[in-house]
Every structure is written in C-alpha cells, then in structure tokens.
Amino acid sequence: MNRFLLLFRYLITLLSVLTFALAQQAERTMTSAKSDSSPEIERLVKTFGGEWKVVENFERSEFFPNGGARKGTARVSLGTGGTTLIEDYHSDGSAGRLDFLAVIWWDKDAKLYRFFTCANDVNHACELRGTAHWEGESFVNDYEEMVGGKKTKFQDSFSQTTPTSFTLVAAISAVHGATKPLITTTYTRR
C-alpha cells in the first residue's frame, strides 16, 4: 500500500510538472506569434480579434427579394504564426445557413491586405476575394463577382468600431460609382 501511495504521488508530481511545462510552451508560442506579426496584422487583431455574436440584416434586392436575416457567431484570431487574421463564422436564419472562413494577410510588397474566403457554396467554395485597405477608421475590402454574366464591383466596409462592437456593410456598385447596401452585419463582443 505504501508503494502505491508513493507511486501515486510521483505520478501527480510528474503530471503537474508536465502541465506547467505545456502552459509555458503555449505562452511562448503566443508571445512568438505576436512578435512575428506585422503592425498591419496587429492593427486588425486589436480591432477585430475576439469572440462575437453576429446579426445580419438583408436589404430587399435582386439577390434577396424578400430581404432576410441571420444570427450566429464569429471567432477572429491570429493564425499561421501571427502572419494572418482568421475569421471562423457561422450563422443561420431566413436568408439560409452560412458557414464562412476568411483569411486576411498583409502583402508587404503591394502595401495592401489580401483576402481569401471559403463558404458553404458548392459552386464557389473558396476564392481570393479582392484586396483591402484602411480608410481612416474603416477597413474596406474591394472585390468583384460575376452577376448576370458580367463582373460587378462589391465592397465590404467594416466601420463603427468600438471595443465591444463593429458593423460590416456589404454593398454592390450602383450608378455613378455609388454603392448600394445589401447586407448589414452587427458584431457584438461575447
């Protein structure tokens, strides 16, 4: 019985040491990832990083004649050693289910952000989705999609940022260079 107790104490001590070592390694990895991040990626993480509740409202349009809505969650975090921002997004509602992944990185040579997205669309699961830049305090992604057989300009604007929320307006190019909002998504920190 004494040997059993001694072995048990030894195993508990060993487990404690291993747990401490793993925690230290995880902390070094996070510190290393942050130190590998560019100032451009750090700005994105500071602004958008975290866990979010999302509410999407769809305007009546040729894409959504009856409008629509969805609710869900998003998780935005650093990825690939601190060189990318990754959003993992899931929502559902009258506009249908959306599972979405976005990867954003800073292209140092071009001096702009690049977007890569994947969604639960079997016809266009993943694609490069334009480029992005800051316009003051708004983060803007410009891209093109085929609509009715022709390339059409779209713009996603992330604005009204506070420590607890921000708004994303997805818009389509309209007459004379103006844009027409299609979807407004409100992110609220969980």
Q: Quick one: average pLDDT of 161-174?
A: 95
By CB atoms closer than 10 A (0-12, 13-18, 19+), residue 60 is exposed
DSSP assigned state of 59: P
The residue ranges of every structural domain in the chain are 1-36, 38-189
The pLDDT score that the predictor gives to residue 2 is 55
CATH fold of 38-189 reads Lipocalin (2.40.128)
- Give the C-alpha separation, 190 to 185, whole Å: 15
Write the CA distances from 51 to 22, 73, 112, 126, 165, integer angstroms. Answer: 24, 7, 25, 23, 11
The pLDDT score that the predictor gives to residue 160 is 96
At 143, is the pLDDT very low, low, confident or very high (cuts 50, 70, 90)? very high
Q: Quick one: average pLDDT of 62-90?
A: 96
How close are the terminal C-alpha atoms of the chain, in Å? Answer: 50
CA dihedral 12, 13, 17, 18 (to 10 degrees): -30
Radius of gyration of the CA atoms of the chain, in A: 22
At 1, is the pLDDT very low, low, confident or very high (cuts 50, 70, 90)? low
By CB atoms closer than 10 A (0-12, 13-18, 19+), residue 91 is buried
pTM of the model: 0.79
